[in-house]
Amino acid sequence: MVTINEGYDIDYDMINVDAEWSDSEKAELTMHTIHAYPAKFPAFIASKAFEYAKNEGVEINKVADIFCGCGTVALESKIHNYDFWGCDINPVATLIAKTKSCDYITEKLEEYYGKIEKAVSSMQFGENEYKNANERLRYWFTEKSYIDLLKLYQAIELTVDDKRYRDAFECIFSAILKACSRWLTKSIKPQVDPNKKDVDVEQCFARQYKKLLKAIKELKGSDSKVEVKCQNFLTCKDLPKVDLVITSPPYVTSYEYADLHQLSSLWLNYTDDYRKLRKGSIGSIYYSNEADIDVAKLNNTAKEIVDLLMKSDCPKSKVKSVARYYLDMQDAVKRSSLMLNNDGMIFFVIGDTEYKGVKILNSKHLVETLYEEGFTDIKIGKRTISKGICVPFRDRNGKFSKDKSQKQIYHEEFIISGRYHR
DSSP state string for 365-420: HHHHHHHHTT-EEEEEEEEE--TT-SS-EE-TTS-EE--TTSEE---EEEEEEEEE
What pLDDT sits at residue 84?
98
CA angle 315, 321, 322 (to 5 degrees): 95
Number of structural domains in the chain: 2
Give the DSSP letter of residue 344: E
Residues 408, 305 within the same domain? yes
Query: 76-85, 138-147, 197-206, 391-400: which has the minimum mean pLDDT?
Result: 391-400
Which among 62, 116, 68 is positioned nearest to 96, based on CA atoms? 68
Give dist(CA 184, CA 153) in Å, integer. Answer: 23
More confident residue, 168 or 405: 168
Does 314 map to a domain? yes
Distances in Å between the Cα of 37 and the Cα atoms of 116, 151, 246, 268, 311 are 26, 25, 18, 17, 35
Write out the residue range of the structural domain in which residue 41 sits.
2-91+226-256+279-420
Query: Per-residue pLDDT averaged across 17-28, rounded?
Result: 84
On the question of pLDDT at 31 being above 90, the answer is yes
Residues 391, 289 within the same domain? yes
How many C-beta atoms surround the C-beta of residue 47 within 10 A? 17
Give dist(CA 85, CA 71) in Å, integer. Answer: 10
On the question of pLDDT at 410 being above 50, the answer is yes
Pairing of strands 412-420, 400-401: unpaired
Give SS3 for 172.
helix
Residues 244, 379 within the same domain? yes
Residues 42, 74 within the same domain? yes
What pLDDT sits at residue 391?
39
Report pLDDT digits (tens) over 217-246. Answer: 999 888 999 999 999 999 999 999 999 999
What pLDDT sits at residue 398?
47
Does 274 map to a domain? no
What pLDDT sits at residue 137?
94
At 365, which CATH number? 3.40.50.150
What pLDDT sits at residue 255?
53
What pLDDT sits at residue 295?
85
Residues 191, 243 within the same domain? no
On the question of pLDDT at 388 being above 50, the answer is no
Share of the chain above pLDDT 90, in %: 67
Does 264 map to a domain? no
Question: In this structure, are residues 306 and 319 in contact, taking their beta carbons and an 8 Å threshold?
Answer: yes
More confident residue, 189 or 63: 63
Residues 57, 147 within the same domain? no
More confident residue, 143 or 354: 143
Residues 168, 244 within the same domain? no
Name the amino acid, one letter, at 410.
Y
- Per the prediction, the chain carries an average pLDDT of 88
Secondary structure E strands in 116-247? 226-229, 242-247
Query: Per-residue pLDDT averaged across 105-113, rounded?
Result: 97
Question: In this structure, are residues 155 and 204 in contact, taking their beta carbons and an 8 Å threshold?
Answer: no
Question: In this structure, are residues 371 and 8 in contact, taking their beta carbons and an 8 Å threshold?
Answer: yes
Contacts of 212 (CB under 8 A, 6+ apart): 34, 109, 168, 171, 172
More confident residue, 392 or 321: 321
Report pLDDT digits (tens) over 255-307. Answer: 566 678 899 999 999 987 656 655 555 555 444 444 567 888 999 999 999 99
What pLDDT sits at residue 247?
97
On the question of pLDDT at 198 being above 60, the answer is yes
Residues 40, 156 within the same domain? no
Residues 241, 177 within the same domain? no
On the question of pLDDT at 61 being above 50, the answer is yes
Residues 232, 365 within the same domain? yes
Does 202 map to a domain? yes
Pairing of strands 400-401, 393-394: antiparallel
Residues 186, 323 within the same domain? no
Contacts of 375 (CB under 8 A, 6+ apart): 333, 337, 346, 418, 419, 420
Query: pLDDT grade, residue 400 (50/70/90)?
Result: very low
